[in-house]
Structure 1
Amino acid sequence: MEASVSAETSKRHENEDRISHLPDHILHYILSFLPTKFAVGTSILSTRWRFLWTSVHNLDFCDMLLFSKATTKKDYLKRKRPFINFVDRVLFLQGKNVSNVHKFSLTCQDCDAVHFNKWVSNAIKRKVQELILSITKEHPSVFPHCLFTCESLSTLKIKMTVYVAVPSSICFSLLKVLHLTYIKFFSDQSSVQEVSLNLPILEELAFYNCAWLKIKTVNIVVPTLQVLKIECWSINGSHDCEIKIDAESLISLKLEVCTSYKYSLLHLSSLVDSSIKLPSCHRIHNDTTIDRLGSLLGAIYNVRNLELNVESIESISSPVFSARMHSLSRLVHLTVLRGSCSTGKKFINMLCDMLYIETLVLPDGLCSYDFSGDGRILGTTPRCFLSHLKLVDIKDFRGINSELWFVKFLVKSVKEVDKLRIRLTRPRSETRVNWKEQIIEKLDKYVKSSNCVLELI
């Protein structure tokens, strides 16, 4: 009898709705992690849940969650109005209970300027802390000016093609993260060609394909900045624009740029990691380009870990930058990524300038290099050639002649290398059954006369 009662009690507890009995502040916390569509959807569960979502401080709107993907313009127009109505109604009802917003996220294909500006202004008036905007279609309007007077923002991420009229001076006193993508900046005063951004506690800054229109100088003062990412492949805006970034606490720098702008990076004494990628069309062809690229190399003098793509090697292997590369006295780890085909001679010439590296990593293998006709005799490199090198890590090694030549050259030219780590990858066109054994035999032969340890993966 007691066992039966216990089983019945246990079954009743299993079916009990324990979540609904939690305090409101805990349920609000749970709902804050959901997209707003799903948070609003909980209102149908019971009267207990009906209005809980109206007190959530996080708003996350995405038109793809509300409606299926539009395949035609007619389909898109059908879903646009219901999405606008949904956002308007949520902001109206939620605004009655919540005076401030922790996070406002808007992701949609398109929205008209009137509603977009109204929604963003609503979030700013309610002292939004994290503002994330991602609009796929090019936005014809000018971004709402009240953004630059918002003192509550800690995170700002905007991804949309839009023109932004910036005042001559901007200060986000609480901003810690700033990501801007496809933004076209221009001065809100035709006579002003200099813009200053004061970001006293910013920690992470990213510009992705942004343009500076009719602006000659951009001053960005960020004493606490730790991570900086700039990607700008297309040539937009004023070619004579100079972007000055003063970042004495910078640890990580990632640049994927052409030299249409001049980047002046100041006081990078704390820099540890740097990645520099130049486009395949980039060439050293005039004094302006040489000056701008030289300025970048001079700014990373303290870097310990450097990542380059093959196209970058095409440029910095030029003799004009040899002294710049020699000055990288703290550089110990070098990673070279895949790119378009490069001459092996330029790659080796660049390595001759890397006096202090201890690790050389080629994560994409050696297929991007052509060592044929190099003309370099084994063992004729400078005496200091890679004299500190301890580890060479080559992945995606296919065993072609140019790869084997480089391994043989490296082992013969570098006396102190401790380990050669190679990850073998069979080419799709390779049909030999004993391909792996033949490659291993050749590699063993190369390292046999040295103290290098061969590690095959």
Structure 2
Amino acid sequence: MNSTSKKLANICEVDRISDLPDSLLIAILALLPIKPAVRTCILSKRWRPLCESLPNLDFTDGRNPGIHFIDFVDKFLMRRPNNLKIAKFLLECYRGDYYRDRVNEWIMNALGRDLKEMHLFFGSQTCMNWSKIYFDMCTSVEVLLLSGKISVEIRENVTLSRLRVLGFDHVTISSYESIGKLLLNCPVLEDLIIVDCEWLTGNSLSICGPVLKRLSCCLISYDEVLRTLIDTPRLENLKIGCYTGGDNDILFKLNLPFLKIAEIDIWDEMGKGVDCVFGLLKQINHVKILTLPDSTVEILSLAYDDNGHYEFPPFHNLTELVINVNECFHETLLDDFLQNSPNLESLKFPQGLVSSCFHESFRSSWGWSQSRVPKCLSTHLKTVYIRTFHGIYDELAFVKCLLAYGSALRYVAIEISNLSIDAEAWQELLNLQSELTTCKLKIIDKNETCSLLLVYHKVYEVNFL
């Protein structure tokens, strides 16, 4: 063996990673899921106490239910030295009925260690009860997310002075009114999510927060009359959903001067959602980015079909509109939006230009006459994204109108769906592509996933994790 080979052999024999300080090794292990991190224990005795000191604990019983899961959690939580803090505690239990008593101990143990984040999910048959004692122990918690079969009991005098993020997802809550009382005692709350919860009592929901910036709220109220008041003067992102069969009022105490992004998703089974939708649009008409799912579009379209006389609000600040098309889409709805959005820069059709069920519902009158071309087309509209393009006549007519009147257009992206390259529509698009000078027309095959991701993105997404 030559000298160079000996030097390399000596280097390979040195365990330089184990020589790193504990704080650095723990920081590295914390980047791994808990089970791969635990496997490092087999390296040497040096690594065993490091795993027991991990700041982030993530447990799920999906693959290892029963006694093995209990032993695993106990090893890294209940036997953990009392002076070791926990930064993040995530617990997913699909068989929580099997070890309900242990779950309560695990939660209390984690809360007693200067915990910053807690994520709980229960998929068992019976509800786990999140009572006042847990709220009282959340003195250090900054992020609290509760999901699944959890019954949340909110009583008087619950104070969460450090809580920045709060989420209730498909849980059962004691009453609508209790939420308002809880939020009054969350002075630094910035993110709130309430999704498809079951409410035991009440008919009045108050969402308040002096520094709340992001709100995602989806309510289900099939029979009862629900009044929702939103008092959030610093709100920037809003996603409001309501699945209703009764009368619902959603009101804002102030006009939300800082609101930038909004999504309005209203489902209506009794034909009473029109007033709610138009009322919301009027209250947030200063928004910059607006998303309208197909359920909301259907309500707006039916209002036209019923000869309703609703005054369409102006959207002078709107720069981006995301609108979904369904079989009930009325031919003048988009025109009204564009006529009232003079500064619109981006227009997106995430579900395409026609309904996936009824292509014939698309109206050729989507085109504009020269005397009624929306101002935004010639002055501000720069980008248009169209997904699921089938190549039917009315789709092509709409694209041609856009290119003809959109003198400010710079980029149009069209995702082709089930359209042969030999089809007449494909050739027409290629001809349009070759004729354009100031605007780029990009034709994307549906299978070109990488290209599609570059030209289409979600407008509104609140990441609470």
Fold conserved between structures, TM > 0.5: yes
Query: Which residue number in structure 2 is paired with residue 391 of structure 1?
Result: 382
Q: Distance in 1 between matches of 2:411 and 2:270?
A: 34
Partner secondary structure for residue 94 of structure 1: coil
Q: Distance in 2 between matches of 1:208 and 1:294?
A: 22
Q: Point out where structure 2 has 5 or more consecutive residues left out of the alignment.
A: 444-465
1:38-437 to structure 2, matched below 5 A, reads: 38-64=36-62, 67=64, 79-98=65-84, 100-112=85-97, 113-149=100-136, 150-168=138-156, 170-187=158-175, 195-198=181-184, 199-232=186-219, 234-235=220-221, 239-259=224-244, 262-267=249-254, 268-279=256-267, 282=268, 285-286=271-272, 289-316=273-300, 318=303, 322-326=310-314, 328-368=315-355, 370-372=361-363, 378-379=369-370, 381=372, 388-396=379-387, 397-410=389-402, 414=405, 417-419=407-409, 421-428=411-418, 430=420, 432=422, 435-437=425-427
Query: Which residue number in structure 1 is paired with residue 455 of structure 2?
Result: none
Partner secondary structure for residue 80 of structure 2: helix
Q: CA, structure 1 residues 428+20, in 2 after alignment: closer, same or farther (shift >3 Å)?
A: same
Q: Distance in 2 between matches of 1:193 and 1:215?
A: 11
Q: Distance in 2 between matches of 1:210 and 1:159?
A: 9
2:260 maps to amino acid: V
Q: Distance in 2 between matches of 1:362 and 1:154?
A: 37
Q: CA, structure 1 residues 167+292, in 2 after alignment: closer, same or farther (shift >3 Å)?
A: farther
Q: What is the identity percentage for the equivalent residue pairs of Structure 1 and Structure 2?
A: 26
Q: Shift of residue 204 of structure 1?
A: 1.9
The more displaced of 431-440 and 9-18 is: 431-440
Partner secondary structure for residue 121 of structure 1: helix
* Contact 1:124-1:146 within 8 A present in 2 as well: no
Q: Distance in 2 between matches of 1:300 and 1:395?
A: 25
1:432-447 to structure 2, matched below 5 A, reads: 432=422, 435-441=425-431
Q: Deviations over 1:363-408 (max 9, x none)?
A: 4321237334759883463786866443351423333111123234
Q: Distance in 1 between matches of 2:199 and 2:251?
A: 15
1:248 maps to amino acid: P
1:243 maps to amino acid: T
Q: Shift of residue 411 of structure 1?
A: 5.8
The more displaced of 359-368 and 117-126 is: 359-368
Query: Which residue number in structure 2 is paired with residue 455 of structure 1?
Result: 441
* Contact 1:35-1:61 within 8 A present in 2 as well: no
* Contact 1:207-1:229 within 8 A present in 2 as well: yes
Q: Distance in 1 between matches of 2:217 and 2:175?
A: 21
* Contact 1:154-1:177 within 8 A present in 2 as well: yes
Q: CA, structure 1 residues 122+144, in 2 after alignment: closer, same or farther (shift >3 Å)?
A: farther
Q: Distance in 2 between matches of 1:95 and 1:20?
A: 22
* Contact 2:292-2:322 within 8 A present in 1 as well: yes
Q: Distance in 2 between matches of 1:336 and 1:193?
A: 32
TM-score (norm 1): 0.80
Q: Distance in 2 between matches of 1:439 and 1:178?
A: 48
Partner secondary structure for residue 312 of structure 1: helix
Partner secondary structure for residue 159 of structure 1: strand
Query: Which residue number in structure 2 is paired with residue 72 of structure 1?
Result: none
> What RMSD over aligned residues (CA atoms) do the two structures have, in Å?
3.5
Which of the residues 15, 20, 38 maps onto 2:13? 15
Q: Shift of residue 334 of structure 1?
A: 1.4
Query: Which residue number in structure 2 is paired with residue 73 of structure 1?
Result: none
* Contact 2:117-2:144 within 8 A present in 1 as well: yes
1:185 maps to amino acid: I
* Contact 2:383-2:411 within 8 A present in 1 as well: yes
* Contact 2:179-2:207 within 8 A present in 1 as well: no
Partner secondary structure for residue 257 of structure 1: strand
The more displaced of 416-425 and 105-114 is: 416-425
Q: Shift of residue 128 of structure 1?
A: 1.4
Q: Shift of residue 131 of structure 1?
A: 0.3
Q: Shift of residue 156 of structure 1?
A: 1.1
Q: Point out where structure 1 has 5 or more consecutive residues left out of the alignment.
A: 68-78
* Contact 2:353-2:362 within 8 A present in 1 as well: no
Query: Which residue number in structure 2 is paired with residue 70 of structure 1?
Result: none
Q: Shift of residue 429 of structure 1?
A: 6.0
Q: Distance in 2 between matches of 1:186 and 1:264?
A: 23
Query: Which residue number in structure 2 is paired with residue 74 of structure 1?
Result: none
Q: CA, structure 1 residues 266+324, in 2 after alignment: closer, same or farther (shift >3 Å)?
A: farther
Q: Distance in 1 between matches of 2:342 and 2:299?
A: 18
TM-score (norm 2): 0.79
Q: Distance in 2 between matches of 1:340 and 1:152?
A: 50
Q: Distance in 2 between matches of 1:305 and 1:91?
A: 45
Query: Which residue number in structure 2 is paired with residue 35 of structure 1?
Result: 33
Q: CA, structure 1 residues 5+372, in 2 after alignment: closer, same or farther (shift >3 Å)?
A: closer
Q: Shift of residue 272 of structure 1?
A: 1.0
* Contact 2:92-2:120 within 8 A present in 1 as well: yes
* Contact 1:356-1:389 within 8 A present in 2 as well: yes
* Contact 2:349-2:385 within 8 A present in 1 as well: yes
Q: Distance in 2 between matches of 1:228 and 1:380?
A: 41
Q: Distance in 2 between matches of 1:205 and 1:141?
A: 22
Q: CA, structure 1 residues 452+401, in 2 after alignment: closer, same or farther (shift >3 Å)?
A: farther
Partner secondary structure for residue 73 of structure 2: helix
